[in-house]
Amino acid sequence: MSQSLSHRCYLQTLPPISHNATFNSRHKPPPPRNPTGDKRSRKFYVACGRGNNRASTTNKDDYHATLKALNSKGRSPKKSLGQNYMLNSDINEQLVGVAGVEEGDVVLEIGPGTGSLTNTLINSGAFVLAVEKDKHMAALVSERFSSTGKLKVLNEDIVKCHVRSHISSLVGSTEDIDSDTRKAKVVANIPFYISTDVIKLLLPMGDIFSEVVLLLQEETALRWVEPSLRTPEYRPINIFVNFYSDPEYKFKVARTNFFPQPNVDAAVVSFKLKQPSEYPQVSSNKSFFSMVNSAFNEKRKMIRKSLQHICTSLEIEEALESIGLLSTSRPEELTLDDFVKLHNSITKE
């Protein structure tokens, strides 16, 4: 096919996508990284050979490539699945860099979409287990990397997926990994609507993952990594995150890097997972988190009132005082360490 014909075909594919870009008036079309009228960018696109059957592990996943990949399957981004695709390969490189992905690593990617992050992970030498809920995107990414032998795609909802058994069998079958010292990693640009579910699912898996690196909504990232005591944003999830991991805010990602453009900015957070032996010592994790949730259930109430179903007000007052806190303390005033001490004091009685 001559370049001019390819060029024409490419132009013909644009209108439906441009139309789809307005599927939600709140999602503004992104500023093209290569302006659509720029002939050089089209030539580059044709020269890359996208759209043929070659595994595309080296092509640039920019605005045009993302549109073309979606168009090849007749897809438009679905808001219900949080499909805001990454248009900037440099950010994918940085995400992979934060996780320190190396040759031979096993990486769980949630929601590969068109495969832009998958591409960077595979190019870094990782074997990727990708869990994608959208069957069309699962098929697309599977086809794209079929010749690499470095990708397994599960067309499943991550929240219902048996992550542990899939990862364990992959790590166990990867010869050059010493499973005692080298664990799998999670690197993903996840849909914002499942952030809490993903955190709850993965952070307690320090026995199989060393690190979870996620692209989150910026506001969520800040709330989870830098919570302030005595604010309404301080919630049980903060206790949970710090119980199971050491979180670190890495960098902000402007909304203009996504297609369609979301209404909010994003940020990359690294959660270094604690080994089970490093978790705070409590008699039972289940009863500990049940106590924390109860304490926050009625946030304005003092702990001596909200935990009355566990023991009497007087016993709670004494327990609070025995760990150096006021008997009138409220949940938003307690750190993880305070909650651990309170739990241990109450349950030993």
Ligand X SMILES: C[S@@+](CC[C@H](N)C(=O)[O-])C[C@H]1O[C@@H](n2cnc3c(N)ncnc32)[C@H](O)[C@@H]1O
Q: Quick one: 71 or 116, whose CB is closer to ligand X?
A: 116
- Of residues 137 through 156, those in contact with ligand X by CB under 6 A are 137
CA separation, residue 304 to residues 114, 299, 308, 326 (Å): 52, 12, 6, 10
Question: How far does CA 23 lie from the centroid of its chain?
Answer: 25
Q: According to CB under 6 A, which one of 30, 113, 260, 331 is a site residue for ligand X?
A: 113
- Closest residue to ligand X, based on beta-carbon distance: 111
219 is in an annotated binding site: no
* Residue 91 is a binding residue for ligand X (CB under 6 A): no
Q: In the 3-class helix/strand/coil scheme, how is the chain assigned residue by residue? A: CCHHHHHHHHHHHHHHHHHHCCCCCCCCCCCCCCCCCCHHHHHHHHHHCCCCCCCCCCCCCCHHHHHHHHHHCCCCCCHHHCCCEECCHHHHHHHHHHCCCCCCCEEEEECCCCCHHHHHHHHCCCEEEEECCCHHHHHHHHHHCCCCCCEEEECCCHHHCCHHHHHHHHHHHCCCCCCCCCCEEEEEECCHHHHHHHHHHHCCCCCCEEEEEEEEEHHHHHHHHCCCCCCCCCCHHHHHHHHHEEEEEEEEECHHHEECCCCCCEEEEEEEECCHHHCCCCCCHHHHHHHHHHHHHCCCCCHHHHCCCCCCHHHHHHHHHHCCCCCCCCHHHCCHHHHHHHHHHHHHC
132 is in an annotated binding site: yes
* Residue 116 is a binding residue for ligand X (CB under 6 A): yes
Tell me the number of residues near ligand X by CB under 6 A: 24
53 is in an annotated binding site: no
Supply the minimum distance, in Å, between the C-beta of residue 188 and ligand X: 7
Q: Quick one: 105 or 134, whose CB is closer to ligand X?
A: 134
Supply the minimum distance, in Å, between the C-beta of residue 118 and ligand X: 7
* Residue 83 is a binding residue for ligand X (CB under 6 A): yes
Q: Which of 22, 34, 40, 50 is nearest to 261 (CA)?
A: 22
Supply the minimum distance, in Å, between the C-beta of residue 61 and ligand X: 7
Listed ranges 24-32, 76-84, 121-129, 163-171: which one lies at the site for ligand X (CB under 6 A): 76-84
Q: Quick one: 116 or 329, whose CB is closer to ligand X?
A: 116
Supply the minimum distance, in Å, between the C-beta of residue 197 and ligand X: 8
* Residue 191 is a binding residue for ligand X (CB under 6 A): yes
Q: Quick one: 189 or 245, whose CB is closer to ligand X?
A: 189
Q: According to CB under 6 A, which one of 6, 59, 119, 189 is a site residue for ligand X?
A: 189
* Residue 85 is a binding residue for ligand X (CB under 6 A): yes
Q: According to CB under 6 A, which one of 17, 96, 108, 117 is a site residue for ligand X?
A: 117
Q: Quick one: 21 or 342, whose CB is closer to ligand X?
A: 21
Supply the minimum distance, in Å, between the C-beta of residue 154 and ligand X: 9
Could you list the residues that contact ligand X (CB under 6 A)?
A: 81-86, 110-114, 116-117, 131-134, 137, 157-159, 189, 191, 194
Residues within the annotated binding site? 84, 86, 111, 132, 157, 189
